[in-house]
Amino acid sequence: MRATPVNLAWLCLILCLLLAAAFVLGLTVGTASVPLGQIWDWAMGRAETGSAAVIVGQLRLPRLLVAALAGAALSLSGAVFQGVLRNPLAEPFILGVSGGAATGAVLAISLGLAGLWAVSTFAFLGALGTMLLVMAIAGRRGGLDAASIVLTGVMVNAFFTACIMFVISTTTDQKLHSILFWLYGDLSGATMAQAALLAPVLALAGAALWLRARHLNLLSAGETAAAALGVEVGRTRFFLMIVASLLVGAAVSLSGLIGFVGLMAPHLLRMTIGHDHRLLLPGSVLFGASFLCLADTAARTLISPSSLPVGVVTAALGAPFFLLLLARRGVRWM
Choose between 130 and 148: higher pLDDT. Answer: 130
Choose between 74 and 308: higher pLDDT. Answer: 74
Q: Which long-range contacts (CB under 8 A, 24 or more apart) does 148-152 make?
A: 149/85, 149/95, 150/85, 150/87, 150/89, 150/90, 150/94, 150/95, 150/331, 152/96
Q: Give yes or no for a contact between 284 and 76, defined as CB atoms under 8 angstroms apart.
A: yes
Q: Which long-range contacts (CB under 8 A, 24 or more apart) does 300-303 make?
A: 300/29, 300/30, 300/31, 301/29, 301/30, 301/31
Percent of the chain beyond pLDDT 70?
Answer: 91
Examine the pLDDT at 165 and tell me if it is beyond 60: yes
Choose between 6 and 278: higher pLDDT. Answer: 278
User: Whole-number mean pLDDT of the chain?
Assistant: 84
- The CA distances from residue 104 to 135, 163, 227, 257, in Å, are 19, 10, 36, 12
* Predicted local distance difference test score (pLDDT) of residue 71: 95
Q: Give the distance from CA 240 to its chain's centroid.
A: 15
Rounded average pLDDT over 9-36: 91
Question: Residue 330 — pLDDT band, cuts 50, 70, 90?
Answer: low
Percent of the chain beyond pLDDT 90?
Answer: 28
Q: Give yes or no for a contact between 128 and 249, defined as CB atoms under 8 angstroms apart.
A: yes
User: 305: cis peptide before it, omega within 30°?
Assistant: yes
* Predicted local distance difference test score (pLDDT) of residue 292: 96
* Predicted local distance difference test score (pLDDT) of residue 334: 44
Examine the pLDDT at 31 and tell me if it is beyond 90: no
105-109, 294-298, 323-327 — which is least confidently predicted? 323-327
Q: Give yes or no for a contact between 103 and 126, defined as CB atoms under 8 angstroms apart.
A: yes
Question: Residue 278 — pLDDT band, cuts 50, 70, 90?
Answer: very high
* Model pLDDT for residues 118-143, shown as the tens digit of each residue: 877 888 888 888 888 887 887 765 55
Question: Residue 285 — pLDDT band, cuts 50, 70, 90?
Answer: very high
* Predicted local distance difference test score (pLDDT) of residue 246: 84
